[in-house]
Amino acid sequence: MLNSGEVDAMVGDRSIVMGCMNDDRSILPGEFAIQDYAAATGKQSGLYSQLAAAMAARLADGTVDMLIAKWGN
């Protein structure tokens, strides 16, 4: 809606708002609240160990820090 001009302003998750930025837009200073994110799998899906390993690897190799630096926290 921001991109189409239907609205003049928006409030949203910083990573989503960053995807809407251009030279004519700015983000107000400050924040409303810090959000915690989580991932869930079915108890019997077998994905838990794969997901946990992938997340641990991305935390350890700096990928998460790079994404936070690029898109905000």
pTM of this prediction? Answer: 0.52
CB 65 within 8 A of CB 7: no
**Within a domain: 4:** no
pLDDT of residue 34: 76
Domain span at residue 32? 14-71
**Residue 5 is assigned to a structural domain of this protein:** no
pLDDT digits (tens, 9 = 90+) for 13-22: 877 888 888 8
The total domain count for the chain is 1
Check residue 56 and give its pLDDT.
Answer: 94
| Residue 9 included in any domain | no
Write down the pLDDT at residue 73.
62
Give the pLDDT confidence of 31-43 residue by residue, as tens digits. Answer: 777 777 788 888 8
- Is residue 36 in a domain? yes
Helices (H), the chain: 14-18, 47-60, 63-71
**Higher-pLDDT residue of 66, 6:** 66
